[in-house]
Amino acid sequence: MVQSSVPLCNTCGEQVGLNDNGEVFVACHECNFPICKDCFEHEINEDHRVCMRCGTPYEERTKEEDDFHEIKVHENEDDDFHEIKVHENQSATPSEISNSQDVGLHARHVSTVSAVDSVNEESGKSIWKNRVESWKGKDKKNKKKKSAPKEEKEASIPPEQQMEETRPAEAAAAPLSVVIPMSKSKIAPYRTVIIMRLIILGLFFHYRVTNPVESAFPLWLTSIICEIWFAFSWVLDQFPKWSPINRQTFIDNLSARFEREGEPNELAAVDFFVSTVDPLKEPPLITANTVLSILAVDYPVDKVSCYVSDDGAAMLTFESLVETADFARKWVPFCKKFSIEPRAPEFYFSQKIDYLKDKVQPSFVKERRAMKRDYEEYKVRVNAMVAKAQKTPEEGWTMQDGTPWPGNNSRDHPGMIQVFLGHTGARDIEGNELPRLVYVSREKRPGYQHHKKAGAENALVRVSAVLTNAPFILNLDCDHYVNNSKAVREAMCFLMDPEVGRDVCYVQFPQRFDGIDRSDRYANRNTVFFDVNMKGLDGIQGPVYVGTGCVFNRQALYGYSPPSMPSVPRSSCCCFPSKKSTNDVSDFQRNAKREELEAAIFNLKELDNYDEHERSMLISQMSFEKTFGLSTVFIESTLMENGGVPESADPSMLIKEAIHVISCGYEEKTLWGKEIGWIYGSVTEDILSGFKMQCRGWKSIYCMPLRPAFKGSAPINLSDRLHQVLRWALGSIEIFLSRHCPLWYGFSGGRLKWLQRMAYINTIVYPFTSLPLIAYCSLPAICLLTGKFIIPTLSNVASVLFLGLFLSIIITSVLELRWSGVSIEDLWRNEQFWVIGGVSAHLFAVFQGLLKMLAGVDTNFTVTAKAAEDSEFGELYLVKWTTLLIPPTTLIVVNMVGVVAGFSDALNGGYESWGPLFGKVFFAFWVIFHLYPFLKGLMGRQNRTPTIVILWSVLLASVFSLIWVKINPFVNTVDSETIAETCIAIDC
């Protein structure tokens, strides 16, 4: 078999091979740039004697003049060899280069067949072996028939023409992307401070534990527990950022390699997924802008397909897509003619910039004005549909032909598919082809579990596999449009790189947002997460999947292992050893059957004539129907690594087959949602799905182009933001209480790195920080009301420890800002909302998750909307009633009451009481400053705070204060006799 440890040549894609000493051939000893011996000798003959990557001169080597290299590939156990002769000629044509690549691929597949045959001989499956051998015999006969004409055709091409068609070696070998590590001047001090902070934390806790506060022992113990949890959370968050990296892509090199003039375009096809549910909550105009930006993307039109999932089966969504498809005939050619950015019309026309910049075509102004008028008319039509849809007719909606809309009952309707644009559909106004646009609404019936967004995404995976089967999938939320028309090319620089992309399951882009106020009061941009944490993860095993703006390798979604890794039993839960062996055996058998079917289908694709009945029986025999479902066309498509619809599929039956794969019972007794596609079991299916892939050994890549690839809309008012954070936290709790918890899942394969596991653990345990956080934020008020404190009188050593801890926290943050480029304001906003979300949404998520997962009680904290003001950020000042507002409001009121009480006691206590008051007041103001954005948002504009929020908060704060004063556990109890004696002594 071909050794997987040998790197691939960056020029021809074949393995580098070994030198005379049996070691891996290395051309450049400076950067180890992978290039095989043949390509190296070609470079020397062309007088290119420096490394193409680092520019270091090659060492002088002796070249043996051989006309042919014989490559022998072991095919089976009977010592049968195929001799493949590759002519070593400086004027090799591109067709010969591609043929040599095909030969290498064929050799790898033949070796796979060899392994399968040996396994089957041991297991006694002689029938299966005979079938494969018969296919091989037919395959050889067909190849002999085709070989003679092919040789004559190649011989007829004159050498001069071959020379003209040869692609420059420099363009072919140029890298598609490079990794840019952080400079040592930035990363070395950062790591040093992290280690120093860890040491200081150890000394700090030693001091805290060995110096209890006897007069306030319960308060001291509570603070110690909280501080230990905060330190544990810091470790989980900090160490995955140990090796942050940047990446740079070269789109020009991608075009030079795969878009050669006069040859077929070799860029890989991409299927776009857009998901929407309720058009009244997710405006059709926003979804339409997302679709239009996809259709106008800078990519070959025959390589782009856009699938829109309407999980609410709304006729409004369908009709808006009809209008969108018609408007796209004008919009797409306009975008490509003038290279405008962004290519979502709503956001393009609303830009407050000079739209004439870099536009030198005389007709641009005239055509832009006409296009803007057409878009306004299009908006009027769509908004008219939305207004009409506000009230549903009693008899339900009716289509234009008079038939009832099949989705009138959104919970009980058949599957629906409509192809609007495509290779055989309408063309644009200039007569050019448009990308394919497909409307999909999966079947829904009562009694079936539909799994919300994850189920809708899996339905799109199957539909797209049947209709187009692009090797890569890009999924977007309906409110995330393509802001950079070259975003797909950015991702292809990684996924189509034979050296980088083999083990990449997805390329994740950062989320960027429009319509957020400059101060970003509620940290909607999540800048710290996307620009700091994700860069750190990119240096380990890759960023986590965040649900949108992600380009997937379709093979990774099908549950396959990376090509460079052998098939091993899938990861299982180590907490149940009695089931582990059984699960490992079944997983191993499933992987073995998958390899057998892959080899068989490959041989079938090489034949012109084969028995359709025999193929169907084979697929059923190999039990793939139990894995992927009852669809022969879909199963065969899963084995086509380079995509494309199977040749055996009947084009006239594809739509019928697509309807079949989105039926509500298709996933019954299969591995969909368990091992394949988007994983079920959590409302944050994105984190769970990415985690499963990386447990199999896949890695992901973080791509941050200078122009943001995608932009979306974020909830900017306080209530909606808290509700969003609640949903994310609830999903983390669901994963924590499931079998996929990173604390115990995925150890058997050993493919998930420890720092990567630490990052995933952090994503599921962070909601539990709300419990110590709300206790810690209550401590200042308690200390001020009782006159006690959690820290004893500080000694010199203790003062140094506290000062060192504060300085290490500040320096760590400053150094993070230095290598990430994040502003200090973004860091402070993130810190503030960490407290705001922790004491509200995260707290509710913990209790809601425990009730749901342990007791089966599903509670919802709904948000009631009010009318927004007519201003640019009118929604920012909108206050919506939700129970999430009560805990942080109570904390603010309690701490303010504590500050007032503390100053009152200091005024009555004299000069000596002002010293201890400083630490308590500083602690209280730390809480108030962190909750200040919440307080500002709660007051809204013109103090329009819901009365019920104020009443609840004041009531809770008053009850808390009164009970604490009445039942104070820190006040020494004095019996009545002592009081009487004291009174007598002072003659009262």
> Which residues participate in the annotated binding site for UDP-alpha-D-glucose?
275, 281-282, 311, 452
Q: Is 367 exposed, middle or buried (0-12, 13-18, 19+ CB in 10 A)?
A: middle
**What are residue 57's DSSP bridge partners?**
50
> Which residues participate in the annotated binding site for Mn(2+)?
453, 477
Half-sphere exposure of 600 (CA within 13 A, CB side): 28
SS3 81: strand
Tokens 């040859």 belong to which residue?
263
Residue type, 88: E
As a dihedral over the C-alpha atoms of residue 498, residue 501, residue 503, residue 506, rounded to 10 degrees, the angle is -160
Q: Would you say 841 and 726 are in contact if contact means Cβ atoms under 8 Å apart?
A: yes
**Integer CA distances (angstroms), 706 to 11, 296, 510, 513, 930, in order:** 28, 20, 11, 15, 32
Active site residue 826: no
Tokens 């799109």 belong to which residue?
460
Tokens 């943001």 belong to which residue?
708
Q: Is 521 exposed, middle or buried (0-12, 13-18, 19+ CB in 10 A)?
A: buried
**Integer CA distances (angstroms), 785 to 624, 894, 897, 898, in order:** 68, 10, 8, 6
Task: Give Cβ neighbours of residue 6 (< 8 Å, ≥ 6 apart).
Answer: 15, 16, 17, 18, 24
| Distance from C-alpha of 309 to C-alpha of 272, rounded to nearest angstrom | 11
Nearest to 333 by CA among 361, 373, 371, 291: 371
Strand 68-74 with 81-87, pairing: antiparallel
Indicate the DSSP class of residue 942.
Answer: T
- Tokens for 724, please give them: 């969003």
Alpha-helix residue ranges (DSSP H) falling in 389-470: 452-467
Catalytic residue among 117, 479, 686, 826: 686
| Distance from C-alpha of 641 to C-alpha of 644, rounded to nearest angstrom | 9
Strand 481-482 with 710-713, pairing: antiparallel
Catalytic residue among 311, 428, 479, 538: 311
**What are residue 129's DSSP bridge partners?**
none
Active site residue 252: no
Crossing angle for the helix pair 577-605 and 612-621, to the nearest 10 degrees? 170
| Distance from C-alpha of 631 to C-alpha of 620, rounded to nearest angstrom | 10
**What are residue 421's DSSP bridge partners?**
437
Nearest to 109 by CA among 75, 77, 83, 85: 75
b (16+ CB within 10 A) / e for 785-816? bbbbbbbbeeeeebeebeebeeebeebbbebb
Alpha-helix residue ranges (DSSP H) falling in 606-642: 612-621, 625-628, 632-638
**Integer CA distances (angstroms), 775 to 314, 730, 955, in order:** 47, 21, 19
Give the per-residue SS3 of 847-907.
HHHHHHHHHCCCCCCCCCCCCCCCCCCHHHHCCCCCHHHHHHHHHHHHHHHHHHHHHHHHH
| Distance from C-alpha of 140 to C-alpha of 599, rounded to nearest angstrom | 16
> Which residues participate in the annotated binding site?
275, 281-282, 311, 452-453, 477
Q: Would you say 543 and 700 are in contact if contact means Cβ atoms under 8 Å apart?
A: yes
Q: Would you say 539 and 245 are in contact if contact means Cβ atoms under 8 Å apart?
A: yes
Backbone torsion region of residue 669, taken as left when φ is above 0, otherwise alpha when ψ lies between -120 and 50, otherwise beta = left
Give the per-residue SS3 of 2-36.
CCCCCCECCCCCCECCECCCCCECCCCCCCCCCCC
Residues labelled catalytic: 311, 686
